[in-house]
Structure 1
Amino acid sequence: MATIKDVAALAGVSTGTVSNYLNKTKPVSPETAQKIADAIKQCAYKPNYLAKNLRTKQYNDVGVLLPNFEDNYYIKVLQGIEVVFRDTPYTINLSLSHERKDYEISCIESFARKQICGLIVFTSIPGEWKKYYDTFINRGIPLVLIDRKMEGLESSFVMSDNYATILKITRELTLNGERNLWLLTGPQEYFCESECIRGFENGLAQGEEGKIITSLLTKEDAFRAIVGLSDELREEPPTAIITTSENKAKGIIESLKFLGYCQREIPVITLGEENWNQMTGSMAALATSRPAIKIGSTAASILIEEIENPVLESKNIFFSDSIARENLKNYPLFSAPKGQVVHSSEPLNVLMLDTIQTHALKKIVDNFKETYGIEAKITVVNHQNLLDRIMEEGNSDVIMYDMPWLQTLIQNGLLADLTEFTKESNRYQELFLPRTAELFGQWREKVYGFPFMYALQILYYRKDLFENSENRSRYRRRYRSELLPPTTWKEFNTIAQFFTQNCDSVEWGTSFPAAYPECLAPEIYLRLLSFERNNLIINSSINLFLNNQNVLKAYVAILRLLKYVKPDYRHANDESVVKDFFNGKTAMVITYPPFFNKVALQTNQVIKEEDIGYSEIPGGIPILGGWGLGINSKSSRIEDAYKFIKWACMDNISSYFSVLGGFSAVQKTYQNDELAKLYPWFPLYSAAHRVAKPIVPPLNRQGTVIPQNSVDDIICDRFYEILERETEVHEAIKNTQSDLASLTQG
């Protein structure tokens, strides 16, 4: 384990300077602070905070005061808080007020006795601001409030914008002609509840008053409140009941069922929280999606900042509920009633790639039949044969295609023009990650398909090996640098060499997939993209080969790497390299998450989940790739086929698809905090999207698109000659460029 002396030596400063930096006892220049911070990261140094606390009598306990655990919203907020504090010196002290004044005051006094250094709180006594001021604020202990403001108290505040959410829901209901709306809220002195009332009142149609009922926030109080209004329910039942928490919704629904009503007659709408399970996430007819985990993590981050920098100004941060940004007409409660689904006797024929996403879709295709009354028969074909199958046969209604194939399929007249279909909805462009709608499905201002399977490469590595003190020490002695996830291809090769030659815990640094062009070509392009990073516009894959110097650098980087990879690279493919990693044979693997997840589910892995780290790929520029779904221009069922690709590609099933290991291009999938817990690399994935570059098929002199597989075959065939020692590197590059030039002549 690294010590303060190791940090000082690496940073080139004294141990006293490091101590001043850590304990903030004396000022340290920004340059020195950065050196120490970098050294701490490189050494994976973790201070002994318990010893420090005993020595300095400073405490790192933080208080978290929640109302209860009955409402899932508070649990998710706590999850967000815990994630932030997990790898810090701070320890969470948790208490529950149960919405009782005496309990909350007792919790306050208990926190004070424990000498907490900061507090996050949902207060149930917003009028008692002076108690908090005297106990905490006046003693320099920062306070972050969630949802419930305390007027007169200078403290940071975080909440979801309940006003905008309730306003939008109420307006939409009134625009649909709904009258006699009810709102059941908690105590009005809670700021979050008063904001709901304000949104409700401003959303009502002119001349409409609606009914506002306040009660405590338990489901029992909600039950009592509705049962107490049973006479009004009989005389003039509300057309909808809006409420402010899942807990209250449970009490309302229970009371309505008890009294003989169902949600078809009186739908219940509630503020909820993000869930991937949209059908069972709530008992209500509609639950909104407050970003509860993000609210908790933001409150925790603010508290840490204010503990460590007491002069910071307090903040007020409001998060938007995702439903406030969406068209409510897309929700069944606000859309026109659908007629009975008429079932078609003939199945829709769908031709798809044999991959985990396709098999995930096959498992849930019954939902398509349930939704549209159309059976879909999915046929899968491997990557090497799919394009030929698409070009040869005309029986499929829906076609799955690799992104570089798009223009070739269009020019061959194989894809139907879907432009008029997409004009029906403004969601088509805004739904997907930036650029994906255009790259996966558009050409010359027309739409031919939707993004279905979205993929970028990620570097996965063995954290246990990278953080092993003996490995770190050996690496430092040998290369005079720290053992960290590589950010350049030179570092990647060096680390692969180290693990192959100097580590007894693993056989090889990495594996390299070169079994066929579909595996090898991306490896070549990845390195070319990083060496061409200053060239902002690369028109096509052929243009990548125009700079002879960068092609040589890329080839040399691969050839050097091959000395330190698992020797079976001529037979290794995208799945086998991941199996090597999970079987403990390699220390690193660069791959697409779908392959990683597929192998993880199928392999009795040797490597524990907690020992796997992830990072951006060396060079920092992944290939923006993936697959789209289009419609065969010869299909006699264009409208039914369009229903299928809309169902498969848009947000109807994107959350379920992700849970099963399929990753779509739908933006909100990567913003869902619950899914980010399942796939911690989601933020990295969406960040890498901003710098990723597509491999664009070139045009010949006649302006016709050259199939990307033709380019890949030329590049890889010549590279295989190098691997087989049939040709020298310079000669192979010259021959490749000559072959590509001939290809462009048409």
Structure 2
Amino acid sequence: MSTIYEVSKLAGVSSATVSRVMNKSSRVSPKTREKVLNAMEELGYRPNSIAQSLASKRSNSIGVVISELQGSYYGMLLNEIELTLRNAKKHVMIAAGHADAAIEEDSIEFLLQRNCDALILFVEAVSDQYLRDLYSRGVRFTLINRQVDGLEDQCLSIDNYQGGYLACQKMIEAGHTSIAYISGPDWKLDAMERLRGHRQALDDNGLTFSDELFYLGDYSEQSGEQGLAKILKSKVPFTGLICGNDEMAAGAIVTARSFGFSMPQQLSIIGFDDAYFSRFIYPRLTTIKNPIKEIGAVSANRVLNSTYGLKSKNLKYDSQPVLIERDSLTAPSLHPYT
């Protein structure tokens, strides 16, 4: 294996000049740069990334702790983070926290021990105090889908309460007064905020929340299928269904079709997230837009800015949810499903 000294000898320059070429320093003339690059190619020289990181005190890698590695939501988020960082010539190391405090802490410490320059965190179980202590240690990070007192500048999330309220209000404005709800898990803050907004909209419109028309799901398509099937067993009539995310809405559509519902005439459905598949299922899903891609890009750009001083105009996003109207919502039918 060739060395930097052999490259410098062949190119007729100092090893310091070779180092500046590898680090893309502007303090090297084009002619000298070309000589060094030609020497590196001739010798098959590959820079030692460990040595480079020791010299620069930077590994050029970012650690990402994500709740899960499956599902369209996390896939869209990770894709945007990785793409943004790769375009900046940074590498990504990923660990899954599985919404378990011990696993999340272990994943964070693992990435820090691998000399990641900064972290992007989508963690749900570690305490707010742990995150504040992490920041006090000098660890650079951005925090997705969570708000922590004292770390406001590191946090990126949407107003899930307002999103839940908006979905329910739109269903009511379409004429629905009996509305079922399939929620995400009760240990997820975003799920409970969406449910809280839903209940507030019902209350503001003089409508009653029905436990018989409620199912506690887990954000999976299967829980959407199972949730609607269980709600239907209650025999309580309803014409509208709101789901805590699009995957559960997709599952509910499968069940509704198996029961012979005409959609949206006999059952209107609203989801949440505006996942990529929501515009392709039938009926095309009306949903609340969660700017997943934008949050992924902004979280990566903020890390690039704070850690490496790389400037970007893309450091802000709209935290207010927006209703995306498609085909799964209409006025209640004069001939409801029985």
Corresponding residue number in structure 2 for 1:272: 273
Deviation for aligned residue 1:202? 3.2
Distance 1:95 1:282 in 2: 35
Which residue does 1:125 correspond to in 2? Answer: 125
CA distance in 2, matches of 1:107, 1:66: 10
Q: Is the 8 A contact 1:129 1:153 kept in 2?
A: no
Could you tell me which of 215, 218, 221 is aligned with 2:220? 218
Residues 283-342 of structure 1, C-alpha deviation per residue, up to 9 Å, x if partnerless?
A: 764234433211100111112223246xxxxx9954344536xxx5x75624799xxxxx
Task: Tell me how far apart the structure 2 counterparts of residues 176 and 200 of structure 1 sit (CA, whole Å).
Answer: 15
In our comparison, the structure showing a higher alpha carbon Rg is 1
What per-residue deviation string (whole Å, max 9, x for no partner) do you get for residues 17-70 of structure 1?
xxxxxxxxxxxxxxxxxxxxxxxxxxxxxx986543033544332121223343
| Match of residue 148, structure 1, among 146, 149, 172 | 146
- Residue 10 of structure 2: aligned partner: none
What amino acid does structure 2 have at the position aligned with 1:147? N
Deviation at 1:92, TM superposition (A): 0.7
Residue aligned with 2:157, SS: strand
* Cα distance in 2 between the residues matched to 1:194 and 1:59: 39
**1:208-357 residue pairs with structure 2 within 5 A?**
208-211=207-210, 213-232=215-234, 234=235, 236-257=236-257, 261=261, 263-264=263-264, 265-273=266-274, 275=276, 279-280=279-280, 285-308=285-308, 318-323=318-323, 328=325, 333-334=329-330
3-state SS in 2 of match to 1:8: coil
Return closer, same or farther for 1:9/1:105 CA change in 2, 3 Å cut-off. closer
Inter-partner Cα distance in structure 1 for 2:287 and 2:163: 11
Change (3 A) 1:317 1:293: closer
Residues 122, 185 of structure 1: alpha-carbon distance in 2 compared, 3 angstrom cutoff: farther
Matches within 5 A, 1:43-54: 50-54=50-54
User: Conserved in 2, the CA contact under 8 Å of 1:61 and 1:90?
Assistant: yes
Shift of 1:213: 4.0
Letter in 2 for 1:80: E
2:172 alignment partner in structure 1: 174
CA separation of 1:170 and 1:298: change in aligned 2, threshold 3 A: same
SS of equivalent to 1:323: strand
- Whole-angstrom CA distance in 1 between matches of 2:166 and 2:60: 42
1:366-381 equivalences in 2 (<5 Å): none
RMSD: 3.7
State whether residues 241 and 269 of structure 2, in contact with CA within 8 Å, keep that contact through their aligned partners in structure 1. yes
Asked if structure 1 preserves the Cα contact closer than 8 Å seen for 2:298 and 2:316, the reply is no
RCO (CA 8 Å, sep 6+): is it higher in 1 or 2? Answer: 2
Q: Deviations over 1:56-88 (max 9, x none)?
A: 544332121223343212211112212220132
| Contact 2:285–2:327 (8 Å) recurs in 1 | no
- The code of the aligned residue for 2:27 comes to A
Shift of 1:100: 4.1
Does the 8 A contact of 1:71 with 1:246 survive in 2?
Answer: no
Give the percent of matched residue pairs that are identical in Structure 1 and Structure 2: 19
Please report the TM-score for the alignment, with normalisation by the length of structure 1.
0.34
Q: In structure 1, what is the equivalent of residue 84 of structure 2?
A: 84
Q: Counterparts of 1:149 and 1:83 in 2: how far apart (Å)?
A: 25
- Which residue identity does 2:238 align to in structure 1? P
Task: Indicate how the Cα distance of structure 1 residues 185 and 274 shifts in structure 2: closer, same or farther if over 3 A, else same.
Answer: closer
Counterpart Cα distance in 1 of 2:227 and 2:294: 32
Contact 1:219 1:250 in 2 (8 A): yes
Rate the CA distance shift 1:169–1:146 in 2: closer, same or farther, 3 A.
Answer: same
Map residues 544-555 of structure 1 onto 2, 5 A cutoff.
Answer: none
Deviates more, 1:239-248 or 1:260-269: 260-269
Q: Which amino acid aligns with 2:209?
A: G
Query: Can you list the C-alpha shifts for 1:679-712, whole angstroms capped at 9, x where unaligned?
Result: xxxxxxxxxxxxxxxxxxxxxxxxxxxxxxxxxx
What is the CA distance between 1:7 and its match in structure 2? Answer: 1.4
The 1:6/1:147 distance shift into structure 2, 3 A limit, reads closer
Aligned residue number for residue 196 of structure 1: 194
The answer on whether the counterparts of 1:170 and 1:203 sit within 8 Å (CA) in structure 2 is yes
Q: Within 2, Cα distance between the matches of 1:154 and 1:269?
A: 31
In the alignment, structure 2 segments of 5+ residues that lack a partner are 1-17, 31-46, 310-314, 334-338
Provide the rounded CA distance (Å) in 2 between the counterparts of 1:247 and 1:239: 20
Contact 2:80–2:296, Cα closer than 8 Å, also in 1 = yes
1:362-413: per-residue Cα shift (whole Å, max 9, x none)? xxxxxxxxxxxxxxxxxxxxxxxxxxxxxxxxxxxxxxxxxxxxxxxxxxxx
Alignment of 1:600-615 (within 5 A): none
Structure 2 partner of 1:464: none
Kindly tell me: are residues 49 and 248 of structure 1, through their superposed partners in 2, closer, same or farther at Cα, counting changes over 3 Å? same
After TM superposition, the structure 1 = structure 2 runs for residues 206-605 of structure 1, keeping only pairs within 5 Å, are 206-211=205-210, 213-232=215-234, 234=235, 236-257=236-257, 261=261, 263-264=263-264, 265-273=266-274, 275=276, 279-280=279-280, 285-308=285-308, 318-323=318-323, 328=325, 333-334=329-330
1:156–1:316 CA contact under 8 A, matched in 2:
no
Q: Contact 1:295–1:319 at 8 Å: present in 2 too? A: no
Query: Match of 1:66?
Result: 66
Contact 1:267 1:284 in 2 (8 A): no
**Offset of 1:93 from its aligned partner?**
0.7
Aligned partner letter, 1:208: L
Structure 1 Cα separation of the partners of residues 24 and 255 of structure 2 = 66
Q: CA deviation at 1:119?
A: 1.7
Write the distance in 1 (CA, Å) between the matches of 2:103 and 2:223: 19
Distance in 2 of aligned mates of 1:257 and 1:151: 45
Q: Name the CA distance, whole Å, in 1 between partners of 2:169 and 2:64.
A: 36
Aligned-residue offset at 1:208: 0.7
Judge conservation of contact 2:270–2:329 (CA < 8 Å) in 1. no
Are residues 154 and 91 of structure 1, via their aligned partners in 2, closer, same or farther at CA, if it must alter by over 3 Å? same
Contact 1:129 1:152 in 2 (8 A): no
Residues 253 and 284 of structure 1 are in contact (CA less than 8 Å); yes or no, is this contact kept in structure 2?
no
List alignment gaps of at least 5 residues for structure 1. 12-46, 310-314, 338-746
- Name the residue aligned to 1:160: 158
Measure how far apart 1:123 and its partner are.
1.7
Size of the alignment, in residue pairs? Answer: 288
CA distance in 1: counterparts of 2:145 and 2:120, whole angstroms: 11
